[in-house]
Structures are given as structure tokens and as C-alpha cells.
A and B are shown apart, each in its own frame.
Chain A
Amino acid sequence: MGELCQAEIAIIGAGPAGMAAAIRLTQAGIRPVVFDMGNAPGGQIYRQLDVPVIGETLSGTDYYRGRDLLGDFSRADIDYRPRSQVWWGQCESDGVSLGVVDAAGVSRWHVKRMLLATGSMERSWPFPGWQLPGSMQAGAAQILFKEGGLVPEASPVLAGSGPLLYLLAWQYCRAGCAPQRILDTTPASRYRLPLRYLRGAWQGRHYLVKGARMMLALKRAGVPIHHGVEALEATGKHRVERVHYYWRGHWHHQDTSLVLTHFGVVPEPQLGRAIGIPYDWHEGQQCFLPERNRSLQARTRVWVAGDGGGIGGALNAEREGRLAALSMLTIPTNDVADRKRERRRLEQRRATDLAVRPLLEAMFRLPSHWLSEQPDTTLVCRCECVSLGELRRAIEQGAAGPNQLKAFTRCGMGPCQGRECGESVTRLLSTVQALPPQEIGYYQVRPPVQALSLGELAATATDA
């Protein structure tokens, strides 16, 4: 079975949640192993911060705030393994088994406890033409910005909803390539919601102020912002040439070679689901979240912290990482009282931080009928090219759930393993059958969670 590696605690993901947890564990004398797919620690928000490419005036202050965390992480005694993908996991009575693939091949690990800090991904939100080159997620554009200081040569159109859209627009403005326009699917009236969520608005005032400042800056820079865009389409022969949007009762057209979309982020579901953590639909966040208790524990030996457990932002991820670390420490020590106090403080801070979430969720709530109003030709499964019309036909023929629908159409059977179409399929069935998403359920997720070759897998066979 190849060599079996062992550790007390494994952390999957070196974003703010994973880094904070690892640091806290080392303070208690534990040396955790941290697996992360990335080339350097930081996760999504602090990507490339170890060797920053863009300065603080361009990135915004939140980015550079992560330097302390990165510093602590690099100084702590952690078995940090970059470029390591966890492709398989299994809960056992005495711990968790993990399959890890890195440049050297496949290894098998057994750990007593595990923290999933696998973060979030951008929500897939189908519209006609979203599969064309020239249509990218806003997060992808931001990654190019952070990794290499890359910005579009021609001014792009930004579309969708949520803070990241405005952050990117603001960053582009600062870098001297203001977007042509912003097509915001959020109706203007929603930006007045803070008046109704006073507590949340107060607790999250710095978010709101930051958001308002960004919008103001964009307006000053002359970027048109259209609130309440109801439909979107990208067209072009081999790549995006134009975008079309439905706004104020009419279709409008705009020539562009690049449309960057953002429709919020959702927990990356693959590993959590593959090891059998139950997920529940969260009405506010409009996605499935893993079930966790107050100590952020999801199963006997498994904890989930950070955006992978529910969208809460980078600071919350850090706090959750620390909380989970405290809860994972089983050995009684003489600083029990201190730890209790620490935990209470973290819980309070976390509650304060999360208080703004219901407001943000209400503000950026996506239209639930979006998918069902798309034309039949819209691709839902990008990998296997399964269109909405094809899914509708299969549902009529008796595909009553996500897994049967997948079997009937190959939707979700491609290389991405349903990451890009899973939520859409749940939404579609939910609309057609007039049942809540929770009752519809989701694909059964199976290994491999990350790609590996048959040769690599075969190398772990007993007689190989």
C-alpha cells in the first residue's frame, strides 16, 4: 500500500483558516501537517502575498493585512506541504485516512484528527455564452492581478453581484484600466437595506463604508454602474465580442472582448462531501453548508473552519481556524482556564463579525428564477456540454433527482466532477418540482476529489 505516513493532526488548506489553526496548534506543542494545492501559503485572499507583486495602493489594505499571519505561519514549526492535493479521504474509527498527490507521486496518510480549511469557490451562474473564451470569473481576473500584476489590455465589462465585483472594479480603476461598465444584478433598492438591518449594519459598518467608498470612487472615475440588471448574454463567433443585458425593460448591447462575472462564493464541496459530511441548504447564503456544531466539528474526528464551512470572510476564517484548533486540542493542560477565556473571546468576535452577514446576504441575494428563465440553449454543464433544454427534457422523462439527472444526461460527469453545475442542477429541480433545495439534495461526490492518473493510483497497489 505504499508507505503510510502518520500525523496527529492534518489541516487541508493554507488559507487564513488553515494557517491560523496551524499556528495555534504549534503554540500548544503540536506540529500539524498542512496540505495545500497552492504554491505558497495564503489561500484565495492572500495569494502571492509571500512575494507580493502589486502594492498596497492597488490591492487595498485587506490584502496586506495578511502579512502578519503569513509571517507567523512561516516561522512556526509546521509540516507545510505546498503543491499537495488531497484527492481522497475516509473517516475511520481511530482517525482519518487521506490520499495525497504531489510531484513525487501518491502517498497515504493516517491522522488522528483533521481540519478541513478548503475554502470557497466562485459560484457558477450560467448565462448564454458563459463558456466562450473572453468570459471569466472575476476571481480569476483578480488572481491574474495578484499573481503577475496582469490587467486586461482592453477595458472589460464587469457583471454580477457582490463585494468582489466592486473590489476588482476598484482595483482596475486604480491600475488605470477602468471597466467599461458594471452590470449589477442587485436592484438599487437593495443598497438601502442597511436601514432595515440596523444591528448588522452597525456591526459591519466598516464593510459598508468600504463598499460605499469603492462605489463612489468608481462613479468619480466615470464608470457607469447599472443596478438591477435582469439578464445577461455573451455572444461572439469564437470568443466574446459583445455582451447583451436586460435592464430597465430593454435589452442593451455593448461591444467588449472580456466579460468578468461574479455571483458570490460558495463552499468548495468536494472533499467534505466525499468523506460523508452532511450538508444542509442555507437560505441566506443560497448554497449548501456542512453541518457543524458550535466547536466547528462536523464528524467525530473532523472539523471545518473558514469559508468552506459557510461564507464569513477572511477575518472570520482566521478566528474559526483558531477556534477549531482549540477544540482539536484534546490533551488537558494547566492552562484550561486561559483556553476557555480565549475561546469565549473568539466566539464573541466571531459573532460580531458574522452579524453583518444576514445583511450582506439579503443585499446580494441572487434571483432564484434566474436559471429557469434562461433559454434552452444555455450550457449548464460546461465539461460535458449539457444544455438547460437537455436537462429539462430528461426531467420530463423521469429524472427526479440530481443523481438520476446526471445518469440520464452526463451533466456533472466531466473533469470538474460537478463543481460547476451541481448547484444549478439542484436549483433547476427545485424550481421544476416546487420543492426546497434541501429536499432535492445534491450529487453524490466520490473520489478522486483532485485529479490523479491511473499510473499514480496503480503505484499504491500492494503488489506494485
Chain B
Amino acid sequence: MFQRIAESSVIDGVDIQLDGEICRVPITLSVAAAVLFIKGDADYRRHVDGHARAPFCLMGCCHECLITIDGEPNRRGCLVSVAEGMSIERQLGGSQDDG
């Protein structure tokens, strides 16, 4: 749902693992941004009420971007930069904490 504009400067890429799948993303992205970039927002996360939710503020306030990073659940994806070899798992189990 998001694409990179042609005019943006060339940025290095890193390989991350998103739900087991290896993807290359710009190194400047946060985990939340990377997931939106690769997968869009439709299946970002499932909330306590079972409904789909996705990042809302991307600046550390709303806690809608909770995601499992390197095995640690419920981290704010917007505050963590992607890094080479990082493993990211979306939390689709229907609670804020299915890690």
C-alpha cells in the first residue's frame, strides 16, 4: 500500500525476516514502516477484540504497532529500526500479547 518514490535518495538495504520470509528493506525504516511497506496494513496485528489493527501514529504514542521483534513480543515497531538479520513476527493471534 506504500511505495518508494523515485526521487528519494538511494539508501542501503538490509535483509530482515518477516514471518519467516526474507525481505530486503531500506535501512532507514522502522520495523513498523518496513511491515507496512512489504505487507500493507491489512494484517498488521489483531487486537484484543479480535479485530485487525495497524499503526496509527508511528511516533511511540498509540501502541497500535505492537509486534514481535527477535522473539520479544509487544514491542513498539515504530521505535525500532530494522537491522540486518532481524526477525519480525506479526501478532495475529487476537490479543495484545500472544507472544
Chain A bound to chain B: yes
Contact of A152 with B28 in the complex, beta carbons under 8 Å: no
Which of B3, B5, B53 counts the most chain A CB atoms within 10 A? B5
Which of A55, A139, A414 is B57 in contact with, Cβ under 8 Å? Answer: A139
Contact of B42 with A133 in the complex, beta carbons under 8 Å: yes
Give A144 to B58 CA distance when docked, in angstroms: 8
Give A188 to B78 CA distance when docked, in angstroms: 36
**Mask for A26-54, Cβ within 8 A of B = 1, else 0?**
00000000000111000010001001111
Contact of B3 with A151 in the complex, beta carbons under 8 Å: yes
Give A140 to B56 CA distance when docked, in angstroms: 7
Which of A150, A414, A420 is B2 in contact with, Cβ under 8 Å? Answer: A150
Given known A147-B29, A382-B56, contact A268–B41 (CB-CB < 8 A): no
A residues near B53, Cβ cutoff 8 Å: 131, 133, 382
Give A198 to B4 CA distance when docked, in angstroms: 43
Contact of A148 with B55 in the complex, beta carbons under 8 Å: no
Query: A202 CB to closest chain B CB, in angstroms?
Result: 33
Given known A51-B28, A58-B7, A415-B96, contact A134–B57 (CB-CB < 8 A): no
Contact of A121 with B59 in the complex, beta carbons under 8 Å: yes
Which of A37, A148, A268 is B29 in contact with, Cβ under 8 Å? Answer: A148
The answer, yes or no, to whether A186 is at the interface (CB within 8 Å) is: no
Give A239 to B54 CA distance when docked, in angstroms: 9
Given known A148-B37, A150-B4, contact A385–B11 (CB-CB < 8 A): no
Contact of B59 with A152 in the complex, beta carbons under 8 Å: no
A-B contact count (CB 8 A): 148
Which of B7, B47, B59, B96 is A140 in contact with, Cβ under 8 Å? Answer: B59
Which of B52, B59, B64, B66 counts the most chain A CB atoms within 10 A? B59
A residues near B81, Cβ cutoff 8 Å: 39
- CB contacts under 8 Å to A, within B6-55, are 7-9, 11, 26, 28-30, 33, 36-37, 41-42, 44, 47-49, 51-55
Give A44 to B58 CA distance when docked, in angstroms: 11
A residues near B36, Cβ cutoff 8 Å: 144, 150
Given known A140-B58, A143-B59, A385-B49, contact A153–B1 (CB-CB < 8 A): yes
Give A382 to B1 CA distance when docked, in angstroms: 23
B residues near A121, Cβ cutoff 8 Å: 57, 59, 61
B residues near A140, Cβ cutoff 8 Å: 55-59
Which of A133, A134, A153, A154 counts the most chain B CB atoms within 10 A? A133
Contact of A122 with B57 in the complex, beta carbons under 8 Å: yes
Which of B56, B63, B96 counts the most chain A CB atoms within 10 A? B56
Which of B1, B8, B56 is A137 in contact with, Cβ under 8 Å? Answer: B56
Which of B2, B7, B52, B64 is A382 in contact with, Cβ under 8 Å? Answer: B64
**Chain A residues in the interface with B (C-beta under 8 A):** 37-39, 44, 48, 51-55, 57-58, 83, 85, 121-122, 124, 131-137, 139-140, 143-144, 147-154, 175-177, 238-239, 257-258, 268, 382-385, 414-416, 419-420, 450-451
13 of the cross-chain contacts (CB-CB < 8 Å) are A37-B60, A51-B11, A53-B26, A54-B7, A58-B7, A137-B57, A140-B56, A143-B78, A144-B33, A148-B28, A148-B29, A153-B3, A238-B42
Top 8 closest A-B pairs, CB basis? Answer: A149-B8, A133-B54, A140-B58, A415-B63, A133-B41, A150-B2, A416-B63, A143-B58
